[in-house]
Amino acid sequence: MKIEVLGSGCPACQKLEQNAKKAVEELGLKNVKVEHVYDVNEMMERGITFSPAIMVEGEIKAEGRIPSVEEIKKWLK
């Protein structure tokens, strides 16, 4: 499974990345990769209009906000 955090690296983007990693850790998932996409052009190509954003397996789950660890865990179950 692949989780992508999309954003410039701002504090909100960093917090979202931390939340995603914590959700993976709390669920004990071993085959999950969390990546951070910083390229604005790539974000636009994927249809992201607000950052931070998070995608799970290529599907946009949230943008323009920081989902909680619990919310991310629900997406991963």
Catalytic residue among 10, 64, 70, 74: 10
Check if 13 is active-site: yes
Catalytic residue among 3, 5, 6, 13: 13
Cα gap 18→40, rounded to integer Å: 20
Please choose, from the candidates 59, 53, 71, the residue with its C-alpha nearest in 3D space to the C-alpha of residue 17: 53
Check if 10 is active-site: yes
CA distances to 2, 34, 64, 74 from 43, in Å: 16, 16, 13, 24
Residues that are catalytic: 10, 13
